[in-house]
């Protein structure tokens, strides 16, 4: 009925063989160490680094993003002969588990929330010997907790921009608005012409709603200005303040009505944010404008590879916005070994900023990069960033544990919830996060 | 664990009936169970005890949960995280709002999942296992039902995007809305319409897990001696009677096992909801809420309190299983 | 095993309505997957603009970068995900243009590049095989004791088994990782194997006990009369007779480990990438590249389906022939 001896023999062979194989499998770092460091160019410092030193890294970037990061780090890796042992994941559980268990990676690239979250465990930039002269004061202020700069902003994106098709605007006789009133009038004109002004899809899995909170924060910047937003972040202005409420009402007027946005409330909450970008550039377009961060350009050219920047798609700053809303991913260190010091020195250096801009991984907050972008749309965004006076963070990123409540709040609001109740729930999370 | 201890002490069950038919040495049983017990203690019991401890502390485990109480509001002292976990989602201003908010809370949704997903997977799985048993293409048929289990959650998320997608224009890329609009209806936002969306997610769950129930139930059906079935057929029983009166009673113990497993799976269910709606639009279940408290709100105390509640919910099924365990030993 | 027969062999002919019912269920079950399968052969430009069922009447207006109409069907999704291509075009287009991305050579060697699925496939197998065999082996012993041996606390321990199954994985990660860091097990295969063993055990013992406990008492009585001890009974009687249960358990443990991402990430890390890791990293944090998931899902599904087919031979009637009292 059953050949027992044979079965056991096969079983043990398979088990032992796979275990042996596993024992032999050597770790394969993606960026293989160079055996001999090449003669270091004078602008990359490898002080104290021994060729073959490893840096373990954890970041949220993957796919094309990871490819770009590798390109940016390549000069450093080649010059110093370090080996990068990367790990990419957006699962917050992974980072939190590693930090809590006392086995964090040497370097983490993550959101600004983590600066506060892990303030006690991070190595300050001073201790790494980083010269932060290339960074604007508002960046340094954002990364400073209890008087210490705990991270380096590496990849920035601006959010206060609206994408549109110049071709479609010209055909319909529209001009780019320069004040909020003009924008409001343009929106009404589009509706009168039988066109849908906005594409507002906000579906994004567990983070559904973030395009909504971005939009609302921009409205707050128009109506109230950057100091107001900073006060909300600090917790001195409660989230259910009339200024915030007004922004929700303006947003809701558009986001819930199918005259103003594709599909009305159901369309807004059900449409994926990337699909929402596509809809403005389809033939015929389903809507005229989409307010979205800088990454939209990549989505447009992937779906519609023949479209040309400047002719078929372009963007303008949210009209009348005082200051600029944006966010950054931050480099943080849990280790102060020489290779880590050298890495941060590279990122903060002129060379590092130039490489970042050249590769074009969104924007670099490093001033040295401002003029070296090869991509025209990135260059335009970089100019906006460089010219801004009141740069503010995304409120949701700036208060630990707050973003998720804010996202759900705006989703509920569009989906028919009661505004006063929603805002007081969010305000409670704000109070807790800023305590 | 305290839960099983209570049952153990509480019932008449505490009189173990000697199950063995062969002589056994004093240490024989421990040679068989100890490796398993040691590994489980290290990997589950010890971390669990840790977790229970954290659930009485504040968000970063630096002080007692009692310190998080807000003055002028209800407070359960060291059990404050449990108060939050149990009552926060429920609006208790009137019994009616409490009732309504309960059914859209993570607890209400988990109950919906338990009832409909367990019933769906077990019934379809059982019926299909019996039907497939009668045809020559059984391996192929079973593989097709089983296939969704083999698709990772990432893949499943994409698959159902093409089923449920809500298109805002004439172009629908979701199958169901394409059919609805082709028939002249209006497209439905399946995943963002409260109440409906939880059931749409349960359908995904049934699709994924029926293969599991079918596989286990099928192996139980295969162990029914065919003489028994043939005898009743000769006695003139219809196929339905054979199914209900012969097969189901014989494989009843396995059905209990499958139900228990599915209840556990639904209690822990996380990925489907997390991938498809992220718990938005009133689709939260206990596990997604736990995850959010732990890793989005960074509140370890509340997250672990929810985990402990999850474990307590399994007690009735522990009781059910012990009862069956004893029954099985009595009749064999 | 050749003697295995189906109920139909001696019973009434299978009626047509049974076939119809089976086929209806099969169609319902297949429909979502067919959508994914068709989509996996479509270029990204088409996926978002038309339903997958329009694949045979493509819209000529959908263009690719050089202005020519995009292909109706393409293998690019499969090639890109196999090679771990992470750029903005396709692997083939980039190789044709002569400037492949970092680490790519446009030769067969790319199949083994660290971001592709080749190495990840091997790593996943190395994780999975011991993580399936170890818990089932240990569980079989324990289940035997719970079924046919008498010891103090067996009811209590059995109740514990049911309870332990519901413990959420996330709750155990931090304490275990702390232990591993002290023992030097973090980042090793042993770390993952042991963790999966620990987490697989409660269910494995629970399921196997149900099947082992259901075996008839006569079997053991006659074995005892023949002079068998527990070790012989376990090896010669119980293991072969519970093979269907062991086979289904093996399938599920295999699937769980194969499709796991979190445990592999926490305990093995990115240095030894597994399939799920490579797949989830094809998509950027902004969702670009998700079309590659369609192809990747099928590639990673292949082996589990083969395992399921292979273990089907244990799901046959007749294994218990003569062993069960009527």
- What number is the ipTM of this complex? 0.86
Instruction: Report, as an integer, the average pLDDT of B277-303.
Output: 90
Confidence at residue B196, expressed as pLDDT on a 0 to 100 scale: 93
3-state secondary structure chain B: CHHHHHHHHHCHHHCCCCCCCCCCCCCHHHHHHHHHHHHHHHHHHHHHHHHHHHCCECCCCCCEHHHHCCCCCCCCHHHHHHHHHHHCCCCCCCHHHHHHHHHCCHHHHHHHHHHHHHHHHHHHHHHHHHHHCCCCCHHHHHHHHHHHHHCCHHHHHHHHHHHHCCCCCCCCCCHHHHHHHHCCCCCCCCCCCCCHHHHHHHHHHHHHHHHHHHHHHHHHHCCCCHHHHHHHHHCCCCHHHHHHHHHHHHCHHHHHHHHHHHHHHHHHCCHHHHHHCCCCCCCCCHHHHHHHHHHHCCCHHHHHHHHHHHHHCCHHHHHHHHHHHHHHHHHC
Instruction: Report, as an integer, the average pLDDT of B100-115.
Output: 92
Task: Inform me whether the pLDDT recorded for A145 exceeds 80.
Answer: yes
Q: Does domain A54-156+327-387 have CATH number 2.30.29.30?
A: no
Confidence at residue C318, expressed as pLDDT on a 0 to 100 scale: 54
Confidence at residue A42, expressed as pLDDT on a 0 to 100 scale: 52
Question: C-alpha angle with apex A426: A420 to A429, nearest 5 degrees?
Answer: 145
Residue A245 makes CB contacts below 8 A (sequence gap 6+) with A419, A423
CATH number at A161-322+399-433: 3.40.190.10
Q: Which residues of B touch C234 (CB under 8 A)?
A: 32
The larger pLDDT score, comparing residue C181 to residue A3, is at C181
DSSP 8-state assignment for residue C169: T
CA torsion angle A333 A337 A343 A346 (round to 10): 110
Are B314 and B201 members of one domain? no
pLDDT tens for residues A289-320? 999 999 999 899 888 888 999 999 999 999 99
Are B242 and B294 members of one domain? no
Task: Inform me whether the pLDDT recorded for A30 exceeds 50.
Answer: no
Confidence at residue C244, expressed as pLDDT on a 0 to 100 scale: 84
Q: Do A91 and C177 touch (CB under 8 A)?
A: no
Instruction: Report, as an integer, the average pLDDT of A243-270.
Output: 95
The mean of the pLDDT values for chain A is 90
Give CA–CA dist B88/B68, Å, rounded.
14
Confidence at residue B275, expressed as pLDDT on a 0 to 100 scale: 87
pLDDT tens for residues C153-192? 888 999 998 899 999 988 899 999 999 999 998 889 999 9
Radius of gyration from C-alpha coordinates of chain B: 24
Are B244 and B138 members of one domain? yes
Whichever domain contains B140, its CATH number is: 1.10.3720.10
The larger pLDDT score, comparing residue B310 to residue C12, is at B310
Nearest CA in chain A to B158: A205
Which among B15-29, B314-328, C255-269 has the top mean pLDDT? C255-269
Task: Inform me whether the pLDDT recorded for A205 exceeds 90.
Answer: no
Task: Inform me whether the pLDDT recorded for B257 exceeds 80.
Answer: yes
Are B244 and B308 members of one domain? no
Are B273 and B315 members of one domain? no
Q: Do B189 and A269 touch (CB under 8 A)?
A: yes
Mutate to test the interface with B, among A270, A272, A415, A435 (most CBs of B within 10 A): A270
| Residue C52's pLDDT band (cuts 50, 70, 90) | confident
Instruction: Report, as an integer, the average pLDDT of A275-290.
Output: 93
Chain B touched by C107 (CB under 8 Å): no
Chain C touched by B36 (CB under 8 Å): yes
Confidence at residue B5, expressed as pLDDT on a 0 to 100 scale: 41
| Residue C133's pLDDT band (cuts 50, 70, 90) | very high
Chain B touched by C216 (CB under 8 Å): yes
- Length of chain B, please? 332
| Helix or strand run (H / E) with residue A83 | strand A83-88
Confidence at residue B14, expressed as pLDDT on a 0 to 100 scale: 36
Instruction: Report, as an integer, the average pLDDT of A344-369.
Output: 93
The larger pLDDT score, comparing residue A96 to residue C71, is at A96
| Residue A36's pLDDT band (cuts 50, 70, 90) | very low
Handedness of CA A225, A231, A235, A237 (dihedral sign): negative
| Helix or strand run (H / E) with residue C307 | helix C291-311
Give CA–CA dist B148/B150, Å, rounded.
5
The CB-side HSE value for A390 (13 A sphere, CA atoms) comes to 15
Q: Which domain does B301 fall in, by range?
A: 47-89+286-332
| Residue C324's pLDDT band (cuts 50, 70, 90) | very low
The least confident of A271-280, B239-248, C90-99, C317-326 is C317-326
Q: Among candidates C135, A163, A257, which has minimal Cα distance to B39?
A: C135
The mean of the pLDDT values for chain C is 85
Nearest CA in chain C to B168: C49
Q: Which residues of B touch A91 (CB under 8 A)?
A: 295
Strand partners, A327: A157
Instruction: Report, as an integer, the average pLDDT of A52-61.
Output: 93
Whether the CB-CB separation of B233 and B242 falls below 8 Å is answered with yes
DSSP 8-state assignment for residue C236: I
| Residue C11's pLDDT band (cuts 50, 70, 90) | very low
Q: Which of A286, A400, A405 sits opposite B168 (nearest CB)?
A: A286
Confidence at residue A92, expressed as pLDDT on a 0 to 100 scale: 84
Q: How far is CA C217 from CA A427, B186, C208, C214, C227, in A?
A: 66, 62, 17, 9, 16
Residue C67 makes CB contacts below 8 A (sequence gap 6+) with A306
Confidence at residue B21, expressed as pLDDT on a 0 to 100 scale: 65
Class of C117-314 per CATH? mainly alpha
Residues of chain A whose C-beta is under 8 A from some C-beta in B? 91-93, 96, 117, 203-209, 262-263, 266-267, 269-271, 279, 286, 400-401, 403-405, 408, 411, 415, 429
DSSP 8-state assignment for residue A226: H
| Residue C282's pLDDT band (cuts 50, 70, 90) | confident
Domain count, chain B: 2
| Residue A76's pLDDT band (cuts 50, 70, 90) | very high
- A54-156+327-387 and A161-322+399-433 share one CATH topology? yes
Confidence at residue A81, expressed as pLDDT on a 0 to 100 scale: 92
Q: Classify residue B1: in a domain, yes or no.
A: no
Q: Which of B20, B152, B260 sits opposite C148 (nearest CB)?
A: B20
Confidence at residue A324, expressed as pLDDT on a 0 to 100 scale: 93
Q: Do B278 and A206 touch (CB under 8 A)?
A: yes
Chain B touched by C160 (CB under 8 Å): yes
Q: Residue B321 class from Cβ within 10 Å (0-12 exposed, 13-18 middle, 19+ buried)?
A: buried
Helix C16-39 vs helix B153-164: crossing angle, to nearest 10:
100
Q: Which residues of C touch B332 (CB under 8 A)?
A: 213-217
Reduce the DSSP state of residue A24 to 3 states and report it.
helix
Nearest CA in chain C to A31: C103
The larger pLDDT score, comparing residue C2 to residue C271, is at C271
Taking residue B196's Cβ as centre, other Cβ atoms within 10 Å add up to 14
Give CA–CA dist C184/C177, Å, rounded.
10
The mean of the pLDDT values for chain B is 86
Whether the CB-CB separation of A67 and C86 falls below 8 Å is answered with yes
Taking residue B300's Cβ as centre, other Cβ atoms within 10 Å add up to 23
| Helix or strand run (H / E) with residue C267 | helix C262-267
Confidence at residue C227, expressed as pLDDT on a 0 to 100 scale: 83
Give CA–CA dist B155/A107, Å, rounded.
31
Are B58 and B121 members of one domain? no
Residue C56 makes CB contacts below 8 A (sequence gap 6+) with none
| Residue B13's pLDDT band (cuts 50, 70, 90) | very low
Are B147 and B266 members of one domain? yes
Confidence at residue A353, expressed as pLDDT on a 0 to 100 scale: 94
The string of DSSP codes covering A317-363 is EPTT-SSEEEEEEEEEES---HHHHHHHHHHHSHHHHHHHHHHTSSB
The least confident of B84-88, C267-271, C321-325 is C321-325
| Residue B289's pLDDT band (cuts 50, 70, 90) | very high
Q: What are the two backbone dihedrals, phi and then psi, of residue A124, each rounded to the nearest 5 degrees?
A: -70, 155
Q: Do B311 and C166 touch (CB under 8 A)?
A: yes
Question: C-alpha angle with apex A163: A158 to A169, nearest 5 degrees?
Answer: 150
Q: Which residues of C touch A304 (CB under 8 A)?
A: 45, 63
Q: Which residues of B touch A112 (CB under 8 A)?
A: none
Give CA–CA dist B37/C94, Å, rounded.
55
Whether the CB-CB separation of B209 and B265 falls below 8 Å is answered with yes
Pairing of strands A54-59, A107-110: parallel
Q: What are the two backbone dihedrals, phi and then psi, of residue B30, each rounded to the nearest 5 degrees?
A: -70, -30
Task: Inform me whether the pLDDT recorded for B17 exceeds 50.
Answer: no
Give CA–CA dist B287/B237, Å, rounded.
46
Q: Which of A4, A102, A299 sits opposite C288 (nearest CB)?
A: A299
Are B207 and B81 members of one domain? no
Q: Do A28 and C67 touch (CB under 8 A)?
A: no
Cα separation of the two ends of chain B: 29
Peptide bond into C272 cis (omega under 30): no
Q: Which residues of A touch B291 (CB under 8 A)?
A: 93
Nearest CA in chain B to C37: B159
Domain boundaries, chain A: 54-156+327-387, 161-322+399-433
Give CA–CA dist B174/C243, Å, rounded.
42
Instruction: Report, as an integer, the average pLDDT of A42-56.
Output: 86
Reduce the DSSP state of residue A155 to 3 states and report it.
strand
Q: Which of A25, A97, A298 sits opposite C288 (nearest CB)?
A: A298
Are B291 and B278 members of one domain? no
Q: What distance lies between CA C145 and its chain's CA centroid?
A: 29
Are B55 and B197 members of one domain? no
Confidence at residue C2, expressed as pLDDT on a 0 to 100 scale: 38
Q: Classify residue B113: in a domain, yes or no.
A: yes
- Helices marked H in A201-337: 210-223, 226-234, 242-255, 264-270, 273-281, 296-303
Q: What are the two backbone dihedrals, phi and then psi, of residue B62, each rounded to the nearest 5 degrees?
A: -100, -15
Q: Among candidates B242, B229, B214, which has minimal Cα distance to C22?
A: B214
Q: Classify residue B165: in a domain, yes or no.
A: no
Confidence at residue C8, expressed as pLDDT on a 0 to 100 scale: 44
Q: Chains meeting A at 3+ CB pairs closer than 8 A?
A: B, C
């Amino acid at each position: 009925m059953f050949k027992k001896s044979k079965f056991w023999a096969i079983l043990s062979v398979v088990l032992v063989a796979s275990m042996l194989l596993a024992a032999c499998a050597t770790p394969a770092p993606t960026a293989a160490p160079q055996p001999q460091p090449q003669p270091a160019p004078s602008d990359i410092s490898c002080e104290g680094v021994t060729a073959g030193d490893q840096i373990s890294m954890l970041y949220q970037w993957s796919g094309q993003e990871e490819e770009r990061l590798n390109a940016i780090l390549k000069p450093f890796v080649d010059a110093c002969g370090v080996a990068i042992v990367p790990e990419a994941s957006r699962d917050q559980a992974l980072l939190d588990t590693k930090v809590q268990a006392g086995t964090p990676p040497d370097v983490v690239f993550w959101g600004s929330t983590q600066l506060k979250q892990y303030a006690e465990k991070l190595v300050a930039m001073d201790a790494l010997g980083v010269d932060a002269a290339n960074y604007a004061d508002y960046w340094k202020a954002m990364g400073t907790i209890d008087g210490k700069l705990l991270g380096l902003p590496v990849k920035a994106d601006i959010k206060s921009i609206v994408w549109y098709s110049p071709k479609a605007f010209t055909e319909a006789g529209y001009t780019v608005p320069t004040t909020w009133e003009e924008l409001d009038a343009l929106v009404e004109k589009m509706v009168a012409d039988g066109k849908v002004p906005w594409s507002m899809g906000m579906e994004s899995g567990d983070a559904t709603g973030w395009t909504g909170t971005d939009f609302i924060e921009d409205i707050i910047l128009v109506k109230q200005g950057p100091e107001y937003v900073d006060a909300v972040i600090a917790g001195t202005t409660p989230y259910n303040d009339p200024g915030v409420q007004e922004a929700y009402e303006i947003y809701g007027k558009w986001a819930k009505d199918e005259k103003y946005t594709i599909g009305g409330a159901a369309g807004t909450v059900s449409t994926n944010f990337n699909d929402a970008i596509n809809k403005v550039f389809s033939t015929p377009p389903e809507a005229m404008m989409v307010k979205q961060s800088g990454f939209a350009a990549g989505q447009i050219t992937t779906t519609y590879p023949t479209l040309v920047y400047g002719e078929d798609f372009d963007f303008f700053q949210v009209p009348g916005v005082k200051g600029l809303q944006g966010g950054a991913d931050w480099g943080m260190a849990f280790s102060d070994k020489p290779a880590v010091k050298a890495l941060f020195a590279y990122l903060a250096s002129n060379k590092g900023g130039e490489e970042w801009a050249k590769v074009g991984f969104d924007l670099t907050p490093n001033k040295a990069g401002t003029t070296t972008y090869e991509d025209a749309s990135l260059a335009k965004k970089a100019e906006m960033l460089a010219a801004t006076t009141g740069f503010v963070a995304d409120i949701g990123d700036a208060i630990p544990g707050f973003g998720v409540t804010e996202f759900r709040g705006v989703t509920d609001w569009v989906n028919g919830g009661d505004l006063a109740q929603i805002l007081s729930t969010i305000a409670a999370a704000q109070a807790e996060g800023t305590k | 664990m305290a839960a099983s201890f209570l049952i153990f002490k509480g019932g008449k069950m505490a009189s173990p009936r000697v199950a063995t038919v062969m002589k056994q040495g004093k240490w024989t049983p421990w040679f068989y169970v100890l490796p398993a017990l040691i590994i489980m203690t290290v990997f589950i019991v010890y971390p669990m005890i840790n977790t229970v401890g954290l659930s009485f502390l504040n968000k970063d485990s630096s002080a007692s949960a009692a310190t998080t109480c807000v003055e002028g509001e209800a407070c359960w002292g060291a059990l404050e995280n449990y108060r939050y976990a149990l009552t926060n989602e429920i609006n208790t201003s009137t019994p009616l709002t409490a009732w309504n908010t309960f059914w859209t809370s993570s607890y209400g949704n988990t109950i919906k999942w338990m009832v409909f997903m367990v019933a769906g997977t077990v019934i379809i799985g059982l019926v299909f296992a019996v039907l497939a048993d009668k045809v020559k293409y059984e391996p192929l048929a079973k593989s097709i039902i089983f296939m969704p289990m083999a698709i990772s959650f990432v893949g499943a998320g994409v698959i159902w995007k093409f089923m449920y997608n809500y298109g805002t224009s004439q172009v629908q890329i979701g199958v169901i809305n394409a059919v609805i609009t082709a028939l002249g209806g209006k497209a439905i936002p399946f995943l963002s319409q409260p109440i409906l969306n939880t059931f749409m997610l349960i359908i995904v769950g049934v699709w994924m897990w029926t293969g599991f129930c079918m596989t286990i139930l099928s192996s139980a059906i295969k162990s029914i001696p065919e003489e028994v079935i043939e005898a009743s057929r000769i006695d003139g029983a219809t196929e339905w009677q054979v199914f209900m009166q012969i097969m189901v009673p014989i494989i009843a113990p396995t059905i209990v096992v499958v139900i228990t497993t599915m209840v556990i799976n639904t209690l822990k269910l996380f990925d489907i909801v997390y991938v498809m709606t992220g718990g938005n639009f009133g689709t939260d279940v206990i596990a997604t809420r736990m995850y959010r408290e732990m890793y989005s709100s960074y509140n370890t105390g509340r997250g672990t309190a929810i985990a402990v509640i999850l474990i307590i919910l399994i007690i009735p099924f522990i009781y059910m299983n012990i009862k069956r365990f004893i029954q099985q030993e009595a009749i064999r | 095993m050749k003697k295995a027969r189906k109920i139909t062999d001696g019973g009434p002919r299978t009626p047509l309505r049974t076939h119809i019912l089976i086929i209806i269920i099969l169609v319902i079950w297949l429909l979502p997957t067919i959508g994914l399968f068709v989509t996996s052969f479509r270029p990204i430009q088409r996926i978002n603009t038309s339903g997958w069922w329009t694949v045979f009447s493509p819209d000529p207006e959908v263009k690719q970068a050089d202005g020519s109409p995009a292909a109706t069907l393409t293998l690019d999704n499969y090639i890109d995900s196999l090679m771990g291509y992470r750029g903005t075009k396709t692997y083939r287009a980039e190789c044709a243009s002569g400037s492949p991305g970092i680490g790519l050579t446009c030769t067969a060697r790319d199949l083994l590049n660290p971001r592709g699925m080749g190495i990840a496939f091997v790593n996943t197998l190395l994780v999975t095989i011991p993580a399936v065999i170890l818990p089932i082996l240990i569980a079989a012993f324990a289940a035997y004791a719970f079924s046919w041996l008498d010891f103090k606390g067996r009811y209590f321990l059995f109740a514990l088994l049911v309870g332990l199954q519901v413990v959420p994985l996330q709750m155990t990660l931090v304490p275990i990782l702390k232990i591993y860091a002290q023992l030097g097990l973090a980042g090793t295969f042993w770390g993952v194997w042991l963790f999966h063993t620990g987490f697989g055990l409660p269910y494995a013992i629970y399921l196997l006990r149900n099947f082992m406990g259901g075996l008839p008492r006569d079997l053991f009585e006659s074995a005892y009369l023949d002079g068998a001890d527990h070790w012989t009974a376990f090896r010669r009687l119980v293991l072969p007779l519970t093979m269907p249960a062991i086979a289904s358990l093996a399938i599920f443990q295999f699937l769980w480990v194969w499709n796991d991402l979190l445990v592999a990430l926490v305990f093995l890390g990115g240095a030894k990438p597994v399939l799920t890791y490579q797949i989830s990293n094809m998509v950027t944090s902004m969702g670009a590249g998700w079309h590659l998931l369609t192809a990747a899902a099928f590639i990673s599904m292949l082996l589990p389906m083969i395992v399921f087919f292979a273990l089907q031979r244990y799901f046959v009637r007749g294994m218990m022939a003569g062993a069960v009292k009527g």
